[in-house]
Chains A and B, each alone.
Chain A
Amino acid sequence: MNETVRVRVVQLLSVAALLIAWEAVARAGWVDPLFVPAPSAVARALGRIGAAALAGLGETLLKAAIAYVLAVVIGVGGGILLGSVRPLRQAVNPFVIALYGMPKILVLPWIMLFLGFGATPAVVYATIHGVFPILVLVTGAVRDVDATLVTVARAFGARRWQLYWKVVLPAIVPTVLAGMRLGVVFCLLGVLVVEMFAGLRGMGYVLSSLANGFQAPELFAATALVSAASIVIVLSLDALNDRLSQWRGDLR
């Protein structure tokens, strides 16, 4: 058996063992089913809340997608601007870093005061969450584009747009992808936090209202659903990333 297969077997067996042990412990009554429901009960609960949870998930994903597009556009655009204009970068960078490091949760109440309830504060908060890692990474990547390449392109008479399109953009693609990988989790997180804090719809609201109602099996089912969705999203971004870096001919 080669190692990859062995790794997969160990992974599957561990997850199965965990689920079986959990089921056994729950059935034996060692834990309070009010707080720790058996996996079988969680599966049944998934059937019960499936439609409502999927609707909530869809709404959350839609808000996260809008925020994500905004974060990528602003982050990459701003990063290219800050990365290529040195005086601007030097003047603004400390503020960007400070905002990047600041826990965004502290400004959430203020955003809520401003924008009220509904989808807008979630999109805005998630955009703020997602934009900074992308902005910071892209700024660095543009700043560090090989100066020789730029000089050569200039010497061969490249116009400004050609310089960006043919030299800068290809050089920063891996960083943009890395930033996008980070950004997607941040955007999802942002939407979920707002929905939990003061949402009336969406997955975050579903999760917090299930917790408030002490509906543990339903809560676990909904948690598993949103976790699975985010793992699928991130893994497919990773796969896309691999595909693109093979296409660029990177040595790995």
Chain B
Amino acid sequence: MNKQIVLIRAVILIVMLGAWEIVGRTANPALYVPPSAAIPALGRLLTLHSYPDLLEHLLLTLREILIAYAMAIAAGLGAGFALGVNRLVGRAYGPILAALYAVPAVVWYPSLMLFFGLDAASKIAFGFLLGFFPITLAVLAGIRQVNPQLLVVARAFGADGVTAFRKVTLPAMLFTLVGGLRTGLALAVIGVIVGEVLGSKSGMGSLINHAYGLFRTPDYIALVVVTLVLIVGSDAVAALLERRAQRWTE
């Protein structure tokens, strides 16, 4: 049964790649790149033949992501706990945050570009903005999950504020919080890459744009593959940390 499913999935994948190969060989090479041409292009990219400065761009994108994410964690946790400690404050600002979250975030990007220019700062700002919201909202949701009676009991048994937070609040909200942190990372990554594609002079997004602009479609495919590896890799690390944190709560 299980083997059968894996087999069917493999067949689907092979059929799709095969169809892509057949269509790609007969159609306009600027549009369709068959896998047999994409793999050599990936080789040329990885051996630094098509873009000798690939590593610098990759590292810049990585650095933008890390800075944006670090800022989003700091600001998101800060804002979340600041809004969460007081019921009235939370009830007043929570809906405002939720309403802003409903705005397609990309509308802020032109303002950020105007403000921070074409360089890394505007990408960091956009990645930060995207990552900030889910983290803040997760903290707010997590605080609501804490059973207030447990806190009362902890205080009655003489726990001070810090101990009560560490022993009661944090374990109770950790599950939600870690989920928010993972979403935040995914969105920070997307923010940086969207920012780079929409306008930049360096970074993976700018290379993708460059290859696309010159109809170097095989190189474009190869760059997309490398960027995808970066994204999937970052999410895999986040998933690992998420499981670690969940095990700690249990």
The yes or no answer to A170 lying at the interface (CB within 8 A) is: no
A227:B31 contact, CB within 8 angstroms: no
Q: Per-residue 0/1 for B197-223: is the Cβ within 8 Å of any A Cβ (1 yes, 0 no)?
A: 111000001001100100101001000
- Judged by a CB distance under 8 angstroms, whether A69 is at the interface is no
Given contacts A92-B12, A109-B209, contact A193 B194 (CB under 8 A): yes
Q: Is the CB of B228 within 8 A of A11?
A: no
Chain A residues with CB below 8 A from B114, complex form: 35, 211, 214, 216, 219
Which residues does chain A contribute within 8 Å of B198, judged by CB atoms? 193, 196-197, 208
Instruction: Report how far A103 CA is from B196 CA in the complex, Å.
Output: 13
A155 at interface by CB-CB < 8 Å = no
Give the distance to chain B from A215, nearest Cβ to Cβ, in Å.
9
In contact, A7 and B92 (Cβ under 8 angstroms) = yes
With A109-B220, A113-B30 known as contacts, the answer to whether A207 contacts B107 (CB < 8 A) is yes
Contacts of A235 in B (CB 8 A): 99, 102
> How far is it, in angstroms, between the C-alpha of A235 and the C-alpha of B115 when the chains are bound?
30
- Least CB distance from A54 to B in Å reads 15
Could you say which of A7, A185, A189, A208 contacts B110, with CB atoms under 8 Å apart? Answer: A208
- Interface residues on chain B, number (Cβ under 8 Å): 48
- Pick the contact of B102: A15, A35, A185 (CB < 8 A): A185
Q: Which of A35, A103, A185 has the most CB of B within 10 A?
A: A103
**Which single member of B12, B104, B190 contacts A95 (CB below 8 Å)?**
B12
C-beta contact mask, A55-95 vs B, less than 8 Å → 1, else 0?
Answer: 00000000000000000000000000000000100111011
Q: How far, in angstroms, from A6 to B13 measured CA to CA in the complex? A: 58
Select one of A6, A103, A197 contacting B231, CB under 8 A. Answer: A103
| Chain A nearest CB, measured from B108 CB (Å) | 7
**Contact A192 B107, CB 8 Å, known A105-B190, A211-B114:** yes
A234: chain B residues at CB < 8 Å are 99, 102
Q: Is the CB of A219 within 8 A of B111?
A: yes
- One digit per residue, 1 when the CB lies within 8 angstroms of any chain B CB and 0 when it does not, for chain A 1-29 equals 00100110011001100000000000000
CB closest chain-A residue, reference B104: A189
**With A106-B227, A113-B212 given, is the CB distance from A90 to B190 under 8 Å?**
no
Whether a CB of chain B sits under 8 angstroms from the CB of A145 is: no
Nearest residue, chain B, Cβ from A90: B5
Q: Is A112 an interface residue (CB 8 A)?
A: yes
**A41, CB-defined interface residue at 8 Å:** no
Distance, CA A207 to CA B105, complexed state (A): 13
Interface set, chain A 169-204, CB cutoff 8 A to B = 185-186, 188-189, 192-193, 196-197, 203-204
A3 and B215 CA atoms in complex are apart in Å by: 60
How far does the alpha carbon of A92 sit from the alpha carbon of B10 in the complex, in Å?
10
Answer yes or no: B162 CB below 8 A from chain A CBs: no
Q: Does A223 touch B at the CB level, under 8 Å? A: yes
> How far is B105's CA from A95's CA once the two chains are assembled, in angstroms?
27
Give the shortest distance, in Å, between A238 (CB) and chain B (any CB). 9
User: Helix, strand, loop or mixed for chain A's interface?
Assistant: helix
Instruction: From B30, B103, B197, give the contact of A231 (CB < 8 A).
Output: B103
Contact A207:B104 (CB < 8 A) given known A106-B227, A108-B197, A114-B31: no
B224 touches A14 (CB 8 A): no
- Determine the chain B residues whose CB is within 8 A of the CB of A231 once the complex forms: 99-100, 102-103
Q: Please tell me if A153 contacts chain B, counting CB pairs below 8 Å.
A: no
Asked if A165 is at the interface (CB within 8 A of a chain B CB), the reply is no
Cβ of B106 within 8 Å of any chain A Cβ, yes or no, is yes
CB distance from B129 to the nearest CB of A (A): 13
Residues 82-116 of B at the A interface (beta carbon under 8 Å):
88-89, 91-93, 95-96, 99-100, 102-111, 113-115
Question: A46 at interface (Cβ–Cβ under 8 A)?
Answer: no
Query: Is A158 on the interface with B (CB-CB < 8 A)?
Result: no
Residue B237 CB within 8 A of the other chain: no
**A196–B106 touching, CB < 8 Å:** yes
CB atoms of B91 and A7 under 8 A apart: yes
Known: A197-B197, A207-B110. 13 other contacts (CB 8 A): A14-B96, A87-B5, A87-B8, A94-B9, A102-B231, A105-B205, A109-B212, A113-B30, A113-B31, A193-B194, A197-B198, A226-B107, A231-B100
Q: Interface on B for A, CB 8 Å cutoff?
A: 5, 8-9, 12-13, 30-31, 88-89, 91-93, 95-96, 99-100, 102-111, 113-115, 189-190, 193-194, 197-199, 205, 208-209, 212, 215, 217, 220, 224, 227-228, 231, 235
30 cross-chain CB contacts under 8 A: A7-B91, A14-B92, A35-B114, A35-B115, A90-B5, A91-B5, A101-B235, A103-B194, A106-B193, A106-B208, A108-B197, A110-B217, A113-B31, A113-B215, A185-B103, A186-B104, A192-B106, A192-B107, A193-B194, A196-B106, A197-B198, A207-B110, A208-B199, A210-B110, A214-B114, A219-B110, A226-B103, A230-B103, A231-B100, A231-B103
